[in-house]
Amino acid sequence: MSTLTIEDDHFELDGEPFRILAGAMHYFRVHPAYWKDRLLKLKAMGLNTVETYVAWNLHEPHEGEFHFGDWLNIERYIELAGELGLYVIVRPGPYICAEWEMGGLPAWLLKDPQMQLRCMYQPYLDAVGEYFSQLMRRLVPLQSTRGGPIIAMQVENEYGSYGNDTRYIKYLEELLRQCGVDVLLFTADGVSDEMMQYGGLPHLFKAVNFGNRPGDAFDKLREYQTSGPLLVAEFWDGWFDHWGERHHTRSAGDVARVLDDLLSEGASVNLYMFHGGTNFGFMNGANAFPSPHYTPTVTSYDYDAPLSECGDITPKYEALREVIGKYVDLPEMPDFPPVVKQAYGKVELDEWAPLLSQVDALSTPEYSTVPLPMEMYDQ
């Protein structure tokens, strides 16, 4: 059994100094057949921890209907990481952002016309409570304090970018503890006064999210957390794409330089993303900026990450591995087999059908005297 603790300006694990070197990889964006390959590549890069969000809307697509098998077998994902010698950080939300449909919140919440999300609205809290009871009874036995690989969990997600109901953050903290979570809890927010003030609680450990200028970010963090280790919960090494935009890229040299800077400060870090994967189905999220323009995310979540969407090692991977090697002893680089790909060639569509003429084949009619939101029809 292991416990991650805070001692002065550093973390300790079982009484020994420990630096978190993590990479984000979401189990629900990667086919389970590839979990092991991707996790081994994460470890080979010199990282010791994998971080993942938990997508509530996948696990409870309809109220009271829970799924934790196959692609959604988060227990197996965490167990596999532990078997490979990795620790795990879990970010269960309930809101996760993650460029995911409704930030992971299930659409059926909106069937309540009075619904108020991410605050002390009792029907919302009741739904969160039922979800956490189902999720945590699977995760609690996998905590490092019980012999598993989970060393920390996040409370909510970047709440300072959304609201200021600190009673809600306190409620979630207490709910997690009531469910049996006894590992380190933390919050993570962007680098601004408003985000740092509203995103957490004085006694909860604070982490920051950014992509550049680590010195400025740490100075701001120290205004609100004067002691303790520095943790970058999200170091943005790439970015996501919206429909109609060019693919976002960030040079390997630039990312390596900033990573070197923050590691030289003694900070712990989570690379967001290590391996992005894919927004399967219709789970790609959307933004509304520049307001009021609707900007949906594309299906790919490649993110220009060190490990590409199809699992290839990239020059960015190699550059970041070299930087990490300045601070820890790197494992020997395995001879990974090439990722098998298939080119399907040119696909020609020579038939089409007007949408409205196919309505009867696609749906059944619902009648209302006034238009209603899609969620009222379980869409």
Instruction: Kindly report, residue by residue over 275-308, the tens digit of the pLDDT.
Output: 999 999 999 999 987 778 899 999 999 999 999 9
Instruction: Report the alpha-carbon distance of residue 150 to residue 334 in Å, rounded.
Output: 25
The CA-atom distances, in angstroms, between 16 and each of 6, 12, 46, 365 are 11, 5, 19, 64
Q: In this predicted structure, what is the pLDDT of residue 135? A: 98
Tokens encoding 80 = 């596999």
What's the CATH fold of domain 4-377? TIM Barrel (3.20.20)
Q: In this predicted structure, what is the pLDDT of residue 288? A: 87
Place of tokens 């009222």: 376
Could you tell me if 24 and 272 are in contact, meaning their C-beta atoms sit under 8 angstroms apart?
yes
pTM above 0.75, yes or no: yes
Q: What is the 3-state secondary structure (H, E, C) of the chain?
A: CCCEEEECCEEEECCEEECCEEEECCHHHCCHHHHHHHHHHHHHCCCCEEEEECCHHHHCCECCECCCCHHHCHHHHHHHHHHCCCEEEEECCCCCCCCEHHHHCCHHHHHCCCCCCCCCCHHHHHHHHHHHHHHHHHHHHHEHHHCCCEEEEECCCCHHHCCCCHHHHHHHHHHHHHCCCCCEEEEEEECCHHHHHHCCCCCCEEEEEECCCHHHHHHHHHHHCCCCCCEEEEEECCCCCECCCCCCCCCHHHHHHHHHHHHHCCCEEEEECCECCECCCCCECEECCCCCCCEEECCECCCCCCECCCCCECHHHHHHHHHHCCCCCCCCCCCCCCCCCCCCCCCCCCCCCCCHHHHHHHCCCCCCCCCCCHHHHCC
Instruction: Report the alpha-carbon distance of residue 306 to residue 329 in Å, rounded.
Output: 19
Instruction: Report the alpha-carbon distance of residue 102 to residue 283 in Å, rounded.
Output: 9
Query: Would you say how long the chain is, in residues?
Result: 379
Q: Which residues of the chain fall short of a pLDDT of 50?
A: none
Residues carrying an active site annotation: 158, 234
Closest CA to 106 of 154, 175, 55: 55
Tokens encoding 267 = 């900070």
Segments making up each domain of the chain, as ranges:
4-377
Render pLDDT for 49-74 as a digit per residue (tens, 0 to 9).
999 999 999 999 999 999 999 999 99
Instruction: Report the alpha-carbon distance of residue 366 to residue 373 in Å, rounded.
Output: 12
Instruction: Report the alpha-carbon distance of residue 54 to residue 133 in Å, rounded.
Output: 14
